[in-house]
Amino acid sequence: MMDNKPFEVPVVVELGHVGKYRHIRSAQEAAECLMTVWPLNRGPRHRDALDTCLKVLEGYRSTADARRALIEAAKESEVLVPDDRLSDDRLH
């Protein structure tokens, strides 16, 4: 079984419905999300993130590279959930 290349810290995105958060925990999960459930407002950062995630899974890039690329793609598509929106939920 292939190593799914876990991230040190998950990337949280809001997909589908307002308040429906998805915690992406690995390069494999990121690639699957980018290919299947990502919003239609995709741009060059989406393509870069998918390419980076696939290269991570092949062993050519680092998981940190994939995480950074995913964050940029999420910002581009306006689905990134900022850490400050999560902090309230994590307090208790």
Q: What is the pLDDT of residues 54-76, one digit of tens each?
A: 999 999 999 999 999 999 999 99
pTM of the model: 0.88
Say what the pLDDT of residue 2 is. Answer: 55
Contact 11, 74 (CB under 8 A): yes
* pLDDT at site 17: 78
8 has a pLDDT exceeding 50: yes
* Gyration radius from the chain CA atoms: 13
Range list of H helices, 26-62: 27-36, 44-57
Rounded to whole angstroms, how far apart are CA atoms 88 and 26?
Answer: 24
Q: Give 15 or 50, the one with higher predicted confidence.
A: 50
pLDDT in tens, 14-27: 988 777 899 999 99
Would you say residue 5 has pLDDT above 50? Answer: yes
Q: How confident is the model at residue 1 (pLDDT cuts 50, 70, 90)?
A: very low
Domains of the chain, by residue range, sit at 6-80
